[in-house]
Amino acid sequence: KNQVEQSPQSLIILEGKNCTLQCNYTVSPFSNLRWYKQDTGRGPVSLTIMTFSENTKSNGRYTATLDADTKQSSLHITASQLSDSASYICVLHKAAGNKLTFGGGTRVLVKP
């Protein structure tokens, strides 16, 4: 079982609507948690990064939250746009061993 599990696997939403993606992890302790956006046919681009002591971080219409007690992070997309159609990947950095663990991503499709 992967140490970083993302849900849902895929999501279809209408333009203008909000959505929330989940990332559940067992990696502990970790130094930071990052969300990447990967457009189809492109490399991932960093959206937000949070240390283990941070609860929330925003980047425009993207807001990431972190609950260290439940070992969950979420990425909230507000007022979705067609350009938000992409995969969103959750990544944890574990200081011990200097390892990055990637989730499998959530594929979001925004329809007009």
Q: Give the binding site for other proteins (CB under 8 A).
A: 2, 31-32, 34, 41-46, 49, 87, 89, 91, 93, 95, 98-100, 102-105
Neighbours of 21 (CB within 10 A): 23
Minimum CB separation from other proteins for residue 91, in Å? 8
- Sign of the torsion formed by the C-alpha atoms of 29, 98, 102 and 37: positive
Q: Euclidean distance between the first and final Cα of the chain, in Å?
A: 36
- 89 or 110, CB closer to other proteins? 89
- 45 or 79, CB closer to other proteins? 45
